[in-house]
Amino acid sequence: MAKTAKKRRGAQAAAKQPLDLPVRLGQIVEIEITGLSHEGAGVGRVEGYTLFVAGALPGERVRARVEHLKKNFGFAGLAEVVEQSASRALPPCPLYDRCGGCSLQHLAYEEQLVHKQQIVKDNLRRIGGFDVEGDKAITVHPTLGMSDPWRYRNKAQVPIGEQDGALVGGFYAEKSHEIIDMNECLIQHPAGDEAVNAVKAIASELCIRPYDEASHSGLLRHVVVKVGARTGEVMVVLVTTEENIPQRDKLMEAIRTRLPGVKSIVQNINPARTNVIFGEKTVTLWGSDVIYDTIGPIRFAISARSFYQVNPAQTEVLYNKTLEYAGATGMETVIDAYCGIGTISLFLAQKSRHVYGVEIVPEAIADANRNAELNGIENVTFETGPAEVVIPAWKEQGIRADVIVVDPPRKGCDEALLATILQMKPERVVYVSCNPSTLARDLKVLAELYEVKEVQPVDMFPHTGHVECVVRIYRRE
């Protein structure tokens, strides 16, 4: 029986091993790292076969353990750095090798900025078919980074669970739902850490049951903290599986006592068996429904579920570049597709004749109107609906855009919206992107009528693989 079981395990292992590859699962290989993937893994080759090695850097020779194989590429874990890159940095976070929140702390920050510029160039060339080198190339500027790339996040979303009978809260380990318990995150605003730690301690003291994902039991699923970086105001959001919170009054009193700066305590109820953080119902348990923050001269009201950029310092850099690329002189009509709570629209309104914003989420449009009123800005109009439906309707009403600004989610622009832009033929388009690959895809479509003038990468998320861009696009005469 033992021999039969051993043969069976051997057959299963062989089945997992693709045929005719120069490496095998579990093998330790020594390879030279020649590049960095978009996710921040080192790229090397063994007899032409590509291996992605997490934690390795270009210019290094490493020993790596092969962990996962596919036909054309595989993944390996870093076992030892044999020859070290001069760009290698010592990650200051003690949980860096376990937490999946950051992937580039081991790379010197100046080199992170170079890497992100290269990511943009690679996608424009590979997906969009654009020239990024030479006389006729698109100008891709060096990435605009931060003077202090730490403690920049104004929002913490921390899953809560139980380990060894104790309540824990932290971020997930990479590619898993294992919670890494932590008291401090070096990219979070200190007030966010303070609030999360206070709620964890209070919930434990009051015996509030943490959520168990496997059994779908327990009450407290997430603690979400929003911080007004310039106002100092703090909102605490408790995401629970049901509306009733045992000892709710004691919980509110304890949070207010330990966090004297808190302005809002909100509950969101999410009873679903899902990875989505928020449910449909949100109630304010104490204080204000919103907190406030400013970006440049514009003041914003931030509710529990409204989208607001998590790095306000770099957001101001991003929006000022958007305003510059829009070329607004005070005479232009501007359409802001995917306008959200009106952040870009209100920036553009400072130097435009009129700005029209469209967004499919009704709650975001309500926030946008509130933010316009909050700032006394009257030359804006917001409407709910799909951009590809609302914008043609505006055209039928005689609204002609001189500039269209798009700031889509990671999946990029809807095909119908791109077709609408080509039909409306505004003089200028400004594309704000959080995903270089979908950006390159969409620019290839717009290139039918437009010329991509320049691209400015902005580092909104230091120490991660993410990069945002602003693109200046002109209609060909």
Which tens digit of pLDDT belongs to each residue from 329-364?
999 999 999 999 999 999 999 999 999 999 998 989
Which residues are known binding-site members for S-adenosyl-L-methionine? 309, 338, 359, 407
Which pLDDT tens digit goes with each residue over 376-410?
999 999 999 999 999 999 999 999 999 999 999 99
Q: How confident is residue 16, by pLDDT bands cut at 50, 70 and 90? A: low
Neighbours of 322 (CB within 10 A): 25
99 noted as active-site residue: no
Query: What phi and psi, each to the nearest 5 degrees, are found at residue 65?
Result: -100, 125
Q: Which domains does the chain have, with CATH numbers?
A: 2-83 (2.40.50.140), 155-291 (2.40.50.1070), 311-475 (3.40.50.150)
Q: Are 402 and 428 in contact (CB under 8 A)?
A: yes
**Average pLDDT estimate for 69-78:** 94
**Average pLDDT estimate for 202-218:** 95
Q: Are 89 and 107 in contact (CB under 8 A)?
A: yes
Q: Are 207 and 219 in contact (CB under 8 A)?
A: no
Give residue 19's pLDDT.
Answer: 66
Query: What phi and psi, each to the nearest 5 degrees, are found at residue 27?
Result: -70, 140
Angle at 118 between CA 113 and CA 120, to 5 degrees: 100
Asked if the model's pLDDT at residue 257 lies above 60, the reply is yes
Asked if the model's pLDDT at residue 224 lies above 70, the reply is yes
Q: How confident is residue 180, by pLDDT bands cut at 50, 70 and 90? A: very high
CA dihedral 192, 194, 196, 197 (to 10 degrees): 160
* Lookup: tokens for 241: 């599986």
Which residues are known binding-site members? 309, 338, 359, 407
Q: Report the amino acid identity of residue 338.
A: Y
Give residue 177's pLDDT.
Answer: 86
Query: pTM higher than 0.75, yes or no?
Result: yes
Asked if the model's pLDDT at residue 215 lies above 70, the reply is yes
Which pLDDT tens digit goes with each residue over 417-456?
999 999 999 999 999 999 999 999 999 999 999 999 999 9
Which pLDDT tens digit goes with each residue over 33-66?
999 998 889 999 999 999 999 999 999 999 999 9
**Average pLDDT estimate for 272-284:** 95
Q: For the chain, what is the mean pLDDT? A: 93
Angstrom distance (rounded) from CA 42 to CA 52: 6
